[in-house]
Amino acid sequence: MFVLTIQFTISYTIFLKTPRFLLSMAKKRTSARLKVKKKSWVPIMAPKSFGNKEIGEIYVVQAENGLNRTVQSNLRDITGNVKDQNVSLTFTISNLKDNRLQTSLLGYTLSNTLVKRMVRKGVDRIDELYTFKSKDGSDVLLKVLAVTLHNTSRSVRKAIRLALMELMKNHVANHSFDDLVNKIIGYSIQSELKKKLSKIYPIREVSFRVVSRVKGSQKVAEPKETPVESETVPEVAKVETPEESETVQETVPADVATPEATPEQ
């Protein structure tokens, strides 16, 4: 019995020194040292202008890890109005307060589906791209869409463009970025633009495709070309392909003389 005990002890000692056993023990020690970081859900709140409503949650280890991220929310989820389902808002997470991530408004976007429904046969589509300085010092990028009631001449479209640019320049200069977006959501600016532009020619619809705060932009330039129209020509090619080519040629710098002139100039 004593001999068997000695043999077992020797065999066990040899086993403890085998590479396989030593490697398995090293793995166990390493796994034991690993610390599990617990994550939690942190609510994301809309700005005060939207009632500080919760627009989402983020799953992070620390709430500070969610800062400087961008989130997108459908406007219907904030207002509860079904008519707002074609608008999405972009927010940036700016600060943390009471374990809630606070956001700032970054942009407004209209769905392409709604834009396509606005354009029909026998109308003219006018797309404009602007960058203006707002009252609070933000550089604001705007993509504005105007749809006429019927097909028009090139001179009429030019008069509408010039009037639209002046109206939007004044609106942006007299409002902060948040106030401007809130008025666009309330459709007050669109109604005013439609009413004033209809004095030149009857307007079916005026909409904002994009309203965005430009980060790091210092120079405010008025548009001399309309790249939006060149991009959107395929969407309305069946409606007015020749007209679109005319409108692209129409957007030339103001210091170049044009053969046609309108009373509004």
Q: In 3D, which of 119, 188, 128 has the Cα closest to residue 162?
A: 128
Confidence of residue 240 (pLDDT cuts 50, 70, 90): very low
Residue 131 and residue 217 in one domain: yes
Structural domain includes residue 33: no
- What is residue 37's predicted lDDT score, i.e. its pLDDT? 77
Instruction: Select from 68, 92, 109 the last residue of a domain.
Output: 109
Average pLDDT over residues 181-188: 95
Average pLDDT over residues 84-107: 94
Indicate whether 27 pLDDT > 80: no
Structural domain includes residue 28: no
DSSP for 170-215, please give it: HHHHTS-HHHHHHHHHTTHHHHHHHHHHTTTS-EEEEEEEEEEEET
Phi/psi-derived region of residue 208, left when phi > 0, alpha when psi is between -120 and 50, beta in every other case: beta
Residue 175 and residue 204 in one domain: yes
Residue 154 and residue 227 in one domain: yes
Residue 95 and residue 186 in one domain: no
Residue 92 and residue 118 in one domain: no
Give the pTM. 0.67
Q: Per the structure block, which two tokens stand in for 65?
A: 């890890």
- What is residue 28's predicted lDDT score, i.e. its pLDDT? 58
Residues 6+ apart with CB under 8 A from 186: none
Average pLDDT over residues 52-77: 92
- What is residue 230's predicted lDDT score, i.e. its pLDDT? 37
Indicate whether 93 pLDDT > 70: yes
- What is residue 16's predicted lDDT score, i.e. its pLDDT? 54
| Upper half-sphere CA count for residue 122 (Cβ side, 13 Å) | 3
Structural domain includes residue 22: no
Q: How many domains does the chain have?
A: 2
Torsion angle (degrees, nearest 10) of CA 158, 190, 145, 162: 20
- What is residue 193's predicted lDDT score, i.e. its pLDDT? 96
Instruction: Select from 66, 85, 109 the last residue of a domain.
Output: 109
Instruction: Select from 74, 93, 109 the last residue of a domain.
Output: 109
| Upper half-sphere CA count for residue 185 (Cβ side, 13 Å) | 23
Q: Which domain holds residue 162?
A: 112-250
Q: 131-157 burial by CB neighbour count: b if 16+ within 10 A, else e?
A: bbbbeeebbbbbbbbbbbeeebebbbb
User: How much of the chain, in percent, has pLDDT values that exceed 90?
Assistant: 58
Q: Does residue 127 contact residue 207 with C-beta atoms inside 8 Å?
A: no
Q: Does residue 102 contact residue 96 with C-beta atoms inside 8 Å?
A: yes
- What is residue 120's predicted lDDT score, i.e. its pLDDT? 86
Task: Indicate if the alpha-carbon torsion angle 191, 195, 196, 202 is positive or negative.
Answer: positive
Indicate whether 6 pLDDT > 60: no
Residue 102 and residue 139 in one domain: no
Average pLDDT over residues 132-141: 94
